[in-house]
A and B are shown apart, each in its own frame.
Chain A
Amino acid sequence: MASLHTEVLVIGGGSTGAGVIRDVAMRGFSGMLVDRSDLATGTTGRFHGILHSGGRYAVKDPHSAKECIEENRILRRIAADYVEDNGGLFVTTPADDPGFGDRFLTGCQAVGIPAQEIPVPEALRLEPRLNPEISRAFTVPDASIDAWKTVWGCARSAQEYGARILNYHRVIRLLVDGRAVSGAIVRNEVTGEEFPIHADFVVNAAGVWAGQIADLAGCEGVTVLPGKGIMIAMNHRLVNSVVNRCRMPTDGDILVPIRTVCVMGTTDTPVPDPDRLEVTQAEVDKMLDEGEQLVPGFREARALRVWAGARPLFQDTKVEVRSTRELSRSYALLDHRERDGVERFLTITGGKFTTFRRMAEVTVDALCAQLGEDRPCRTDEEALPDCEDGRYYWLGARLAAREAALTDDQLICECELISRRRLEEAIEQRGTANLDDVRRTVRLGMGPCQGGFCIYRAAGILHSVRQTPGEEANAALLDFLQERWKGVQPILYGDQVRQARLDDWIFQGLLDVEHLPA
């Protein structure tokens, strides 16, 4: 049986874990990251894509707000290609208290968020679809950010510094050596092989699953409550900038334009199991109602897809908050030496995507302190891969690339403008037969037709690139079809029913995929 050794083992390949592995690697440690699934498939891959200015927390949680604006500035600098500089608006709709705007401005000023009130006609000029009944509007430097690019960017950067990324490796148990954690037994979820990874230090960055990992080290009472939030992607950018309701943060008050869509979010419902997130009709209706407040006619617009993510809400049921007192309420760093008498083991959980880099920094600082090392963090200085020129991503980038290759390459996914070459590269690079993994790399099948045209092509290309048996391509095709269906099924109405029916005709009427040889 193979056995691996590393200085730092990071458990969890969401934004936090990816941030930690990059930070660890940049500080000169050897590092390994494991995730039970693909990177960024948990909470990170299931949020609406906002890079907060902090405005949302300016009144409720100034400490978080300050962290957000600081990290917003850093990410704009180091992750420019993953960021769309869409800007943000806070607007007071007829359902909101106009007085909140003053508290909002004061809150923003206090923590250094450059918020500015603009006349309502100016706001409506910027966002013509916005509810014309709004009474106040404020600009903030919100932006949109691509979670998958960011996580893979951090992973690639970490790899360049020598780290290893082991996706589809599930932690079965932790190796505990006396009073210290010394690694983990992991199982390769593709081959089924189990083997130990010995490590000098283990960081638990399993997010909403962090309690399960802490339990494996005998550190009880790390309770991470999953808070389910649903998001709906609309077929168009109904707004050009991130539009927030100017009120205390609650359900359904953000509309985020990202790439060719905009995403409405979100809800917050406590659920028992982060692996079982179902979208109910009532939640969809609630989002549509709130969307209608921001953009009249929202219900009649075409919804593309709905999904749910689980926020990690940390509660320590063992110790009073002593060990996390100095930290922001937004995330929790648990030093298990202090908390449980277990050495060489840290848990970082909670938080928000915008502050993932900061969370990684404080975690690796604590790791260095425990190891008695003095190695400063540099993740805020060095640009992530493809971001070196400091230019933001822009909506027309893919179209421009397509136009440049118009006559010598094929367009496989018309909705997301994915060329054959790009798809073949992604399949090879990722070394995977799972089209959903490929989707997160190139956005395959994420547009209006939700894979109606590209799934058959992608299966054919997968078959030819990997030269593996047809069953593999068949399984990929059927899995991807089901995966796409999962996201459209709860929002099938209007034009999306038409689309679903066309897809039925293609997959069942024309190709007869339900009788593919198993």
Chain B
Amino acid sequence: MPRGELLGSLEHIVLLALLRLGESAYGMTVRREIEDRTGRSLSIGAVYATLERLETKGFVSSFTGEPTAERGGRAKRHFRIEAEGERSLREAQAAVQSMSAGLKKRLGTV
């Protein structure tokens, strides 16, 4: 199977969060989604640094929304996963599944 650039673990998780959130994906919802689902506390700076890397790789794109009062008149930057990002995510998922095949006893529910 051809392989593109490997995903880091945080990149992998952020891409999955973008998929789950769809239209409502922006920095804080991504951070909260990861925290709620994994229990892993994450800083907003780490989320944006990861999104920036993914955007540089062409895996995600972003657009700036309108400013809102609840944000002190500041705009949101929405993110969405691109086809290249989905392809990379599928490859990463397949690699994890392939590597964990036959290890169910040792890894439990993986």
B and A form one assembly: no
- Interface residues of chain A, those whose CB is within 8 Å of chain B, are none
